[in-house]
Amino acid sequence: MVFNSLTFVVFFACVLALHALPLPWTTKKINLAVASYLFYAAWNPPFVILLWVSTVVDWYAAQGLVKAKRPTSRHAWMLLSVIANLGMLGYFKYGQFLLDNFTSLISAVGVAYHPAHYDIVLPVGISFYTFATMSYTLDVYLRRAAPAQNLLDYALFVTFFPHLVAGPIMRPTELVPQFAQPRRATGEQLRFGLALMTLGLFNKIVLADSFLASAAERVYDSDKIPGALDAWAATLAFSGQIFCDFAGYSTTAIGAALCLGFAMPDNFRFPYAAVGFSDFWRRWHITLSSWLRDYLYIPLGGNRHGARRTYAALMTTMLLGGLWHGANWTFVAWGGLHGVYLAAERVLRARFANYRPGPLAFVALGLLTYTLVNVTWVFFRAKTFGKAWIVLRGMAGQNDAAKPILATFSLFSVAAIVGGILLTHWLMRARTLESVIARAPAAAVSMIWALMAFAIIIAQGAGSAFIYFQF
């Protein structure tokens, strides 16, 4: 079920009530695990089996790793986990993509092949929980962590509903120890958790869905040719939409976990105030970028084997990171473009090692970063390269046949909301939300909280899915 639904409101109230009952800790953990399976089954009950497969495979792989005496056995157990998880991901997420590309390839050499359509539904959140379970086995393999002490704690780590379908991508060392001792939220944690959930849902329902999504759709999903204003407005709208959608989900998830007494890591740190692309990736989808760094970039050699190997590892990581987001070459292009940016930044940092920007140059570099990030969002949002090219040409003012697409209200909404997001990110770039709230007058916190909740109610969100569910 999605967080922005009545079903979740009732579900969450039941879970909170159950968790507050004076029951043994093991019973409470079983309750949480059952609730998490129900949460997942509410989309499509049979997909719970995949969750079990992923859980069981990695549980036994980690047990095997601990007992293995020889390096080859350790390798074999690790490979079992990687192959099982990536195999599942490949089958459900990339099957049609691989088939389409294979068909195109062989038809290019003159072989006519018309396979049946790969009619398989993508299980919600499969990219997230396969990465979470793989990190468990890989941490044990890399001797960074000991395996979980019991299957219940491990299964709850995989399925814990706040992070299950769209992250933050948890590591076992972050969550499993929290299940060792009884946990129940304090009154303060419960109230702050509810405030965080309101903030997250405000981002998703009000800003992303109600105001920004339609501006992006009108340009990206229509046949009309956009001029500079429409192309930029739609792309900026998407930059705001995807942030509010995904950061909104993460904030809601963090708040939900906190209401139950559990801590989850930050997933976003005001990314549109990033100065440079390494800074951007330390702020955007932190749990994915650090996962890719720890389990892909560093094993590929990282920056320990000379410049050429570093750039190869960087590009490979970013290209695969792009592909993780979706089975389409446009996502690969998005990742590749970020890889090129990161590589270029690395070159410039080496060449101008002593350069320290002044305040104005700092802001200018930040705006340049944001502008270039927006160029990458074009490939992320466009369904085809043709559409991406049309929008990019529009952004460059090169579409002669362009006609106005967006209404004045849309332009105004995008300017106000995206302008507000940018300003907030810059004001908050070296702060945390908690520190700002701690300094604010209590009445102001109350008022802002109530206004956000009111906006959620009167925006009448229709329970639309979060963008990242498809990944």
Partner 1 sequence: MPDRDARQTAADRPGVAQPVPMRPVPAQPWGRILLGTVLLLVLLVAGWEEYWRAYGVRPSIANTFGLWSMQRRRIDAGEGAATVLLGDSRLYFDIHLPVWERLDGRRPIQLSFEGTAPLPALEDLAADPKFTGRLLIGVAPDVFFSGFKFRAAAVGYAHKESPSQRIGQWLSMHFIEPYFAFDDPDYALQTVLARQPWLVRVHQRLPVRKLAMTESDRNTYLWSKLETDPEYRTIVRKIWLNHMQRWDDEPPPAAALKNEKEQIERTAQAVAKLRARGVKVLFVRMPSDGAYLEFENRKYPRARTWDALLAASGVPGIYFADYPELQGYELPEWSHIKHSDAERFTGELYKVIQRDFWGPNAPGVSAKASAAR
Residues designated catalytic: 325
Structure tokens at 439: 């300094």
Residues 6 or more apart whose Cβ sits within 8 Å of residue 333: 322, 379, 385, 388
Report the b/e string of 88-106 with b at 16+ CB within 10 A. Answer: bbeebbbebbeeeeeeeee
Binding to partner 1 by residue 258, rule CB under 8 A? Answer: yes
The residue among 145 and 166 lying less far from partner 1, judged by its C-beta, is 145
Q: Do the beta carbons of residue 19 and residue 260 sit within 8 Å?
A: yes
The residue among 144 and 349 lying less far from partner 1, judged by its C-beta, is 144
In angstroms, what is the minimal distance from the CB of 108 to partner 1?
A: 34
d(CA 161, CA 260): 11
Q: How many Cα atoms are found within 13 Å in the side-chain-facing hemisphere of 308? A: 0
Binding to partner 1 by residue 25, rule CB under 8 A? Answer: no
Binding to partner 1 by residue 449, rule CB under 8 A? Answer: yes
Among 83-91, 242-250, 306-314, 445-453, the segment contacting partner 1 (CB under 8 A)? 445-453
Binding-site size for partner 1 (CB under 8 A) equals: 84
Among 51-59, 126-134, 264-272, 370-378, the segment contacting partner 1 (CB under 8 A)? 264-272
Could you say which residues in the range 268-297 bind partner 1, by CB under 8 A? 269, 281-283, 286-287, 289-291, 293-294
Could you say which residues in the range 369-428 bind partner 1, by CB under 8 A? 404-409, 411-413
Instruction: State residue 44 phi and psi, 5-degree precision.
Output: -160, 100
Could you say which residues in the range 193-252 bind partner 1, by CB under 8 A? 194-195, 206, 210-211
Q: Which of 83, 263, 344, 396 binds partner 1 (CB under 8 A)?
A: 263
DSSP, residue by residue, 39-106: HHHTT-GGGHHHHHHHHHHHHHHHHHHHH--SHHHHHHHHHHHHHHHHHHHIIIIIHHHHHHHHHHHH
In angstroms, what is the minimal distance from the CB of 172 to partner 1?
A: 9
Could you say which residues in the range 126-185 bind partner 1, by CB under 8 A? 139, 144-145, 171, 173-175, 177-178
The residue among 103 and 303 lying less far from partner 1, judged by its C-beta, is 303
Q: Do the beta carbons of residue 313 and residue 321 sit within 8 Å?
A: no
Binding to partner 1 by residue 73, rule CB under 8 A? Answer: no
Q: Which of 97, 98, 118, 265 binds partner 1 (CB under 8 A)?
A: 265
Q: Which of 188, 355, 359, 386 binds partner 1 (CB under 8 A)?
A: 188
Going by the DSSP 8-state scheme, the letter that residue 165 receives in this structure is T
Binding to partner 1 by residue 87, rule CB under 8 A? Answer: no
Of 200, 244, 236, 201, residue with least CA distance to 215:
236
Interaxial angle between packed helices 408-428 and 213-220, expressed in degrees from 0 to 180 and rounded to the nearest 10 = 120
Burial of 71 (0-12, 13-18, 19+ CB in 10 A): exposed
Q: How many Cα atoms are found within 13 Å in the side-chain-facing hemisphere of 449? A: 15
Could you say which residues in the range 310-339 bind partner 1, by CB under 8 A? none
Among 42-50, 65-73, 308-316, 418-426, the segment contacting partner 1 (CB under 8 A)? 42-50
Among 26-34, 109-117, 367-375, 435-443, the segment contacting partner 1 (CB under 8 A)? 435-443
The residue among 115 and 305 lying less far from partner 1, judged by its C-beta, is 305
Structure tokens at 264: 């989850």
Q: Which of 96, 372, 455, 464 binds partner 1 (CB under 8 A)?
A: 455
Q: Do the beta carbons of residue 51 and residue 34 sit within 8 Å?
A: no
Binding to partner 1 by residue 357, rule CB under 8 A? Answer: no
Residue indicated by tokens 């009108």: 218
Residues 6 or more apart whose Cβ sits within 8 Å of residue 347: none
In angstroms, what is the minimal distance from the CB of 11 to partner 1?
A: 9
Q: Which of 41, 86, 367, 372 binds partner 1 (CB under 8 A)?
A: 41
Residue type, 77: W
In angstroms, what is the minimal distance from the CB of 469 to partner 1?
A: 12
Binding to partner 1 by residue 309, rule CB under 8 A? Answer: no
Neighbours of 4 (CB within 10 A): 22
Binding to partner 1 by residue 435, rule CB under 8 A? Answer: yes
In angstroms, what is the minimal distance from the CB of 363 to partner 1?
A: 16
CA quadruple 207, 211, 213, 218: dihedral, nearest 10: -170
The residue among 142 and 320 lying less far from partner 1, judged by its C-beta, is 142
Q: Which of 266, 315, 372, 464 binds partner 1 (CB under 8 A)?
A: 266
The residue among 98 and 465 lying less far from partner 1, judged by its C-beta, is 465
Structure tokens at 13: 């109230």
Residue indicated by tokens 């970020």: 338
The residue among 7 and 107 lying less far from partner 1, judged by its C-beta, is 7
Residue type, 104: S
Could you say which residues in the range 100-119 bind partner 1, by CB under 8 A? none
Binding to partner 1 by residue 1, rule CB under 8 A? Answer: yes
Neighbours of 412 (CB within 10 A): 13
